Structure 1
Amino acid sequence: MTYDIIVIGSGPGGYIAAVRASQLGKKVAIIEKYSTLGGTCLNVGCIPSKALLDSSHHYYDAVHHFEEHGISVENPSFDFPKMLERKAKVVETTTGGITYLMDKNNIDVFEGLGSFEDKTHVKITKKDGSSEVIEGVDIIIATGSKPANLPFITLDKERVMTSTEALKLPEVPKHLIVIGGGVIGLELGSVYKRLGAEVTVVEYMDKIVPGMDTDVSKELQKVFKKQGIKFATSHKVTSVERNGDTVLVKAIDKKDREIEFSGDYCLVAVGRKAYTQGLGLEKIGLEVNERGQVAVNAHLQTNVHNIYAVGDVIKGAMLAHKAEEEGVAVAEYLAGEKPHIDYNLVPGIVYTWPEAASVGKTEDELKEGKVAYKSGKFLMRALGRSRASGDIDGFVKVLADKNTDEILGVHMVGARVADLIMEAAVAMEFRASAEDLARICHGHPTYSEAVKEAAKAAWDGKPLNA
């Protein structure tokens, strides 16, 4: 069987590439080694983690905030197995939706491990050991990533685990030690803290979510400390040992002192790495970089002219929405169109509570680039909407060019900023100025008014409600 396009991997990058290619008239096949479509994001990443974040947030509110709203719930409790059951149903519904999309768009789905026979033929090895070979004019690699690990840590996937296992624990930990203060560690740490676990985050860098704006990192850490999460930043983990139901984590702090942390579970959340195992890249001479990522050019094309790669398997932020945009871009490029992706406008989001979101340049990046800029910040607690809901933590910060007033970056912590950040992304896509954003009439009372006020603070230094 010959296809115009073969996609290897059915995560957000892969399945979206397949759908878009089919919409543009291509005959498409998609290969997935697991029994369900959707990749890491839908099965063991974005979707299940958000389901648990929402469930645990409801419980936390019942315990800590219902009373102030005049709602009495005597001795709130939770059913952890039922939470996991709900999470599983959400995943099942979502992955089932991908199967529906494949059928709707006449995309042939092959279950098995895809590997290159040559640059146009892919062998599909099924679980029963049988195999078949299909041919593609162009091939898109969308095999994603796997959790990274430190070389001295043995993952038993029971007490010492990755995010995959942390989504299906048999119980709520008594003390969860999280190695890594990035998005994954903070989100899953928040889930279990809300459900009663003691949580300690051990981070090598001097701040959490180190890739985000420093003000965002500081605000998140302050709020999480208030919620009871403990932090050990500037700590280099040196060993992780399990003894029965106890996990001992040793680390060196910035004063070269050895610090020990003892818990019953340890989540290793030190990032992710590109997954190319079993693809047979060596058979076709396809190049990877020093980090094992597939090397691509500006069109996401590899050194083998008919093979492309998208998502976590290539360089850049490991985000589902970035992968989706790349999948669309390759499909459109192969159909003769001229798509573009502005990587500066790919938002970064932390789905804790409060949420955090950023787009564009951070203040540190502007300083390092010697860009003349101005900054405007507005606190969420100054909003009527925030006071009404009780979500008063956080801020919106707008960074704009000092000379032209063009918005260069927007950084937020607060309620629903995961959705709110897109107002900034749209404005920046059209190269809006801080004044443009400040002069747009925003609904009242809304959280979005903080964007208007921060933009006004950046534009003329005079927010109206501060």
Structure 2
Amino acid sequence: MVVGELVYEKDLVIIGAGPGGYQAAIRAANYGRDVTLIDRTEPGGECLHSGCIPSKLLAVSASKMNEAAPGLTLSASFSMKQWNSDKKEVVKKLETGLHSLFKTSKIEFIQGNASFLSEERIGVEQGEKFEVWSFNHAIVATGSSPKIPSFYEEHSDFVQSVEDLYNLERVPETLVLYGSDYVTAEAASSFQALGSHVHVMTDEASFLSELDETIGKEVRRQFKKQGIRVSTGVTNITINEEGSSIKVTAHDSKGKDLQMFADILGYSAGRRRNLEALGLENARVKVNDDHFITIDDSCQSSNDRIYACGDITNGPSLAVKAIKQGKVAADNCCGVSSVCDLTFLPVVMHTLPQVASVGLTEAEAKEAGYQVSTGLSHMRANGYATLQGQPEGLVKVIRDEETHLLLGFHAIGSGAIELIEKGTLALEMVARDEDFIYPFAPHPGFGEAWIEAAENSLQTFKTESKQKQR
């Protein structure tokens, strides 16, 4: 410490104002803590400005373009330029809402760059001003950024991250997407519905391989039906500019040469943790070999004053995870015992149709040693899906025949994202099939599909047992 250095005393400092950071701030402020929230830019993080909100906003537009109803003849056009203007208004409105929440909760929000100077001090740079803060507790919630793929080279505006696609002023006529995650799937679905010719390529053996096999197969069938081309096992990718477009060449899993011309290539090649320049080593905060901050189930780091949440911790890069961990971290900073368990973390995709999943896949359940019974219900048999004019998709329930425990819920179809909340709650409550089948379900309603799937899982096992006896 320099003699005469002024140190400002802070109570709880939160670095990063994305979903995990601002939810932690609000929770801690409600407990009566004096909270200082700091971020390099405006609050909301990448989720608000370039990730969750823009991608879902485009998905809404895409779904509206495909809506139909009895007796209605609709004609709609889409302007990406107008959509971008509307998107900025939505983002600004949500951003303003966060500032209002901070003011109401008496949260101090500061724009600047923060880094740890020691185990209990932070240096904060705000333009030409530099301050030193001491703190009682700190929560790190700095999120992540798109990784650049190995084949990437500078090609003007022709090659960019999927997140950057939501800043385009026009819908590309042809679009190549590199990736095999939900981010890629959502972009492929939305842009195809809005008029692009989309070709997805991935170096993985299967597209969306983390999904239950039945659901993944249906996603790929739907993509094919919509005209989205998917190439797997892609290697040796090269990109060459040719006038106002690019030529993408590669080899697929069968060794076949691929050649695609596109207006743009969007990539989703994983996430890079935003840990650089944080000075974590000065604070005695351990980072593992995979560049995650090491935390326990209370979200506490190796420094008992410092907690962490979101993408910078182990596990998937999902806003729902960051929000839960942020609240848990805030609870523990405030002396309220709380833990975060990612076992039943739901994953959703705002594609056409929607996809949602929670719990074990069929393959995972079998590998874990369960006596697996599955049940399917096709949305074409669901009265409400038919009324909505959206009969595509199915739901799948996975259960253990011996204990009757429900193990996993997987859905593709209209309403899937809302449906998964019921499955998540059932798994958290350690529900058995009778707990799921017995309650009433509104008729007509999407929720009836879950009951039918659970009932079908009972019938499926009985049929299989009879066949084995023969």
TM bracket, shorter-chain basis: over 0.9
Opposite residue 417 of structure 1, the aligned amino acid is A
- 1:254-298 deviation digits (Å, cap 9, x = unpaired): 223332222110001122221112212233343222222212222
Q: What is the Cα deviation at residue 462 of structure 1?
A: 9.3
Q: What is the Cα deviation at residue 444 of structure 1?
A: 0.3
Q: What is the Cα deviation at residue 305 of structure 1?
A: 2.3
8 Å CA contact 1:30–1:109 kept in 2: the answer is yes
Q: How many angstroms apart in 1 are the aligned matches of 2:437 and 2:148?
A: 45
Q: Secondary structure at the match of 1:283?
A: helix
Q: What is the Cα deviation at residue 237 of structure 1?
A: 5.1
Closer, same or farther: CA 18–276 of 1 in aligned 2, 3 Å: same
Alignment of 1:336-415 (within 5 A): 336-415=335-414
Q: Secondary structure at the match of 1:399?
A: strand
- 1:349-381 deviation digits (Å, cap 9, x = unpaired): 001121000111111211222222211111111
Opposite residue 158 of structure 2, the aligned amino acid is R
Instruction: Show structure 2 runs of 5+ residues with no match.
Output: 1-7, 463-470
8 Å CA contact 1:207–1:217 kept in 2: the answer is no
* Equivalent residue number for residue 468 of structure 2: none
> Quick check: 1:19 aligned with 2:26?
yes
* Equivalent residue number for residue 202 of structure 1: 201
- 1:18-77 deviation digits (Å, cap 9, x = unpaired): 11111112111111101x20101111111111111111221233xxx46xx332345x32
8 Å CA contact 1:51–1:90 kept in 2: the answer is no
Q: How many angstroms apart in 2 are the aligned matches of 1:216 and 1:240?
A: 33
Q: Secondary structure at the match of 2:316?
A: coil
8 Å CA contact 2:79–2:170 kept in 1: the answer is no
Q: How many angstroms apart in 1 are the aligned matches of 2:422 and 2:178?
A: 33
Q: How many angstroms apart in 2 are the aligned matches of 1:249 and 1:402?
A: 49
Q: How many angstroms apart in 2 are the aligned matches of 1:461 and 1:338?
A: 43
* Equivalent residue number for residue 466 of structure 2: none
Q: How many angstroms apart in 2 are the aligned matches of 1:243 and 1:32?
A: 40
* Equivalent residue number for residue 277 of structure 1: 276
8 Å CA contact 1:119–1:284 kept in 2: the answer is yes
Please identify, of 179-188 and 441-450, the stretch whose mean Cα deviation from structure 2 is larger: 179-188
Please identify, of 326-335 and 339-348, the stretch whose mean Cα deviation from structure 2 is larger: 339-348
Task: Compute the RMSD of aligned alpha carbons.
Answer: 1.8
8 Å CA contact 2:436–2:454 kept in 1: the answer is yes
Q: Secondary structure at the match of 2:337?
A: coil
Alignment of 1:212-251 (within 5 A): 212-236=211-235, 238-251=237-250
* Equivalent residue number for residue 39 of structure 1: 45
* Equivalent residue number for residue 256 of structure 1: 255
* Equivalent residue number for residue 146 of structure 2: 147
Q: How many angstroms apart in 2 are the aligned matches of 1:396 and 1:216?
A: 8
8 Å CA contact 1:52–1:84 kept in 2: the answer is no
Opposite residue 27 of structure 2, the aligned amino acid is R
* Equivalent residue number for residue 48 of structure 1: 54
Q: Secondary structure at the match of 1:392?
A: coil
8 Å CA contact 1:435–1:459 kept in 2: the answer is no
8 Å CA contact 1:202–1:233 kept in 2: the answer is yes
Please identify, of 307-316 and 129-138, the stretch whose mean Cα deviation from structure 2 is larger: 129-138
Instruction: Show structure 1 runs of 5+ residues with no match.
Output: none
Closer, same or farther: CA 3–193 of 1 in aligned 2, 3 Å: same
Q: Secondary structure at the match of 1:447?
A: coil
Q: How many angstroms apart in 2 are the aligned matches of 1:216 and 1:270?
A: 23
TM-score by length of 1: 0.93
Q: How many angstroms apart in 1 are the aligned matches of 2:13 and 2:216?
A: 41
Q: What is the Cα deviation at residue 157 of structure 1?
A: 6.6
8 Å CA contact 2:297–2:341 kept in 1: the answer is no
Q: Secondary structure at the match of 1:409?
A: strand
Q: What is the Cα deviation at residue 383 of structure 1?
A: 0.8
> Quick check: 1:173 aligned with 2:172?
yes
Opposite residue 21 of structure 1, the aligned amino acid is A
Closer, same or farther: CA 410–326 of 1 in aligned 2, 3 Å: same
Closer, same or farther: CA 408–323 of 1 in aligned 2, 3 Å: same
Q: How many angstroms apart in 1 are the aligned matches of 2:30 and 2:162?
A: 34
8 Å CA contact 1:207–1:218 kept in 2: the answer is no
* Equivalent residue number for residue 36 of structure 2: 29
Q: How many angstroms apart in 2 are the aligned matches of 1:134 and 1:459?
A: 61
Q: How many angstroms apart in 2 are the aligned matches of 1:217 and 1:251?
A: 24
Q: How many angstroms apart in 2 are the aligned matches of 1:181 and 1:368?
A: 23
* Equivalent residue number for residue 6 of structure 1: 13
Closer, same or farther: CA 86–209 of 1 in aligned 2, 3 Å: same
TM-score by length of 2: 0.93
* Equivalent residue number for residue 115 of structure 2: 115
> Quick check: 1:93 aligned with 2:93?
yes
